[in-house]
Amino acid sequence: MKQANRIANLPPYFFAKLNGRIAELKQEGLDIIRLDIGSPDLPPPDFVLQALNRSAADPDHHSYAGYYGIPALRQAIADYYGRRFGVKLDPEAEVISLIGSKEGIAHVPTAFVNAGDAVLVPDPGYPTYRMGVVLVEGKTYPMPLLPENDYLPDLEALPRSVLRRAAVLWLNYPNNPTGAVAPLAFFERAVDFARQHGLLICHDAPYADVAYDGYEPPSMLQVDGAREVVLEFNSLSKSHNMAGWRIGMAVGSAQAVKALALVKTNLDSGIFRPIQDAAIAALTGDQSWVAGRNAIYQERRDIVLAGLKRAGLRARRPKASLYLWPQVPAGLASADFAERLLEETGVSVTPGTAFGQHGEGHVRISVGQATERIREAMDRLVNFMAKGGYSSA
């Protein structure tokens, strides 16, 4: 069978590969604790499930449900942005629903990038920013996220020669995998920068509602003038515990929404109506449970921090996101550390290099796992470190 040349440059998706190894280890009887994957372990609240069931019981709700998201969903998204961020959106022109934000992210290059154009991506960063670029034969240019810059990219350091051919700048705060957050002042600088260089900023914000210690992550659309140059991606996966439901959104620049819609209308046929109705319920219903859910994550974050300390591994205290980003012991590659930890203890963490070369030296730990299992995983990690006799980084 003939295959397209472009997939030769597409690496296997890290988690798809890891899932295969984990299935084998389970078969061998190892008790696996998955702290590698950023999927909430808890379900959405009951009123969301009820909305799904009610809608599914309607015989008219099983046909194609339209391309852009039903008007009530786009209105619910606009209302959410108004309530949560004080951002006023036109639901017709500035909002489109996505089959999970990953779908929209992967289609960005098809809509905005020509062969040979550059796409600026955070490194470490969510892999999908890069993969869609490979498929359209664009070039990704990694922007290192370094601890000394609080994991914000140094925009001024980007070479002029790259900026001249750059089409899209990806940002993601609260950040996966580092757990870093961005102040509004950084978003202001980024919007200015995008205007100066004729870039579209794609800001990926699925963790905007997963935050701790009273912190409230901003939307980039809060910046004056952002709606001209920013397309913000968001999702109910993490905010409302609906990762498997596949529902997200892109909001902001009307021109960008239109371009993405043109790609999508040609490639997909929208989202199952009952899922859209459930998302409306999730966005417009009582939000007080979100604080309770975040309190559970916060407790887990603190358990992980305490465990890492006992294990002799250094990590920052994230104010948001599902992730901790500890340093691995000095001299050990993060992939080797993650592999040995998995094979010897059954605790699965993600090597930093799954997110780019600047992820080396770190692993990512997710708090989307039952609290007791996280405790258990930390005990295993502490033993593993004691047995290995590693010194901390």
102 near ligand PLP, judged by CB under 6 A: yes
CA 285/CA 278 separation, integer angstroms: 10
CA 393/CA 34 separation, integer angstroms: 24
What sign results for the dihedral spanned by CA atoms 311, 315, 317, 323?
A: negative
Q: Is 166 helix (H, G, I), strand (E, B) or coil?
A: strand
367 near ligand PLP, judged by CB under 6 A: no
126 near ligand PLP, judged by CB under 6 A: yes
248 near ligand PLP, judged by CB under 6 A: yes
- Of 208, 243, 311, 378, the one binding ligand PLP (CB under 6 A) is 243
Q: What share of the chain is helix, strand, coil (3-state, %, to 5)?
A: 50, 15, 35
Stretch that binds ligand PLP, among 97-105, 142-150, 282-290, 367-375 (CB under 6 A): 97-105
CA 146/CA 318 separation, integer angstroms: 15
101 near ligand PLP, judged by CB under 6 A: yes
Burial degree of 364 (CB within 10 A; 0-12, 13-18, 19+): buried
Q: Is 31 left (phi over 0), alpha (psi -120 to 50) or beta?
A: beta
96 near ligand PLP, judged by CB under 6 A: no
Stretch that binds ligand PLP, among 96-104, 294-302, 342-350, 376-384 (CB under 6 A): 96-104
The Cα-based distances of 357 to 270, 331, 335, 352 in angstroms read 35, 15, 11, 8
Residues between 307 and 366 with contacts to ligand PLP, criterion CB under 6 A: none
Stretch that binds ligand PLP, among 42-50, 95-103, 136-144, 185-193 (CB under 6 A): 95-103
Stretch that binds ligand PLP, among 50-58, 98-106, 145-153, 311-319 (CB under 6 A): 98-106
- Of 206, 346, 361, 368, the one binding ligand PLP (CB under 6 A) is 206
Q: Quick one: 206 or 218, whose CB is closer to ligand PLP?
A: 206
237 C-beta neighbours (distance < 10 Å), count: 22
Enumerate binding residues for ligand PLP (CB under 6 A): 38, 100-102, 105, 126, 172, 176, 204, 206, 235, 237, 243, 248
